Amino acid sequence: MKKIIFDNIITILYALIIAVIIRSLLIQPFYIPSSSMEPNLLVGDRLFVTKYSYGYSKHSFPFSPPIIRDRLFFKKPLRGDVIVFKTPADNRTDYIKRLIGVPGDKIQFIDGNLFLNDLEILKDLNNKNNYVFCGKNPIKSNYFVENLPSGKKFTTAYFGDYTLQNTDLFVVPKNHYFFLGDNRDCSKDSRFLSSVGYVHENNLVGKARFIFFSSDARKGSIFEFWRWGELIRFDRFFKKIK
DSSP state at residue 206: E
Considering the candidates 34, 35, 36, 214, report the single residue annotated as catalytic: 36
**Are 141 and 39 in contact, with CB atoms under 8 Å apart?**
no
C-alpha span between 10 and 38 (Å, rounded) = 44
Burial (Cβ within 10 Å: 0-12, 13-18, ≥19) of residue 241: buried
36 catalytically annotated:
yes
Closest by Cα among 92, 99, 185 to 150? 99
Closest by Cα among 209, 221, 237, 183 to 82? 209
**Are 180 and 101 in contact, with CB atoms under 8 Å apart?**
no
Closest by Cα among 36, 167, 198 to 102? 198
Burial 178-213 (b: 16+ CB within 10 A, else e): bbbbbbbbbbebbbeeeebbbbbbbbbbbbbeebeb
Q: Is the peptide bond before 39 cis (omega within 30 degrees of 0)?
A: yes
Considering the candidates 51, 58, 97, 207, report the single residue annotated as catalytic: 97
Strands 176-180 and 170-171: unpaired
Could you give the residue numbers annotated as active site? 36, 97
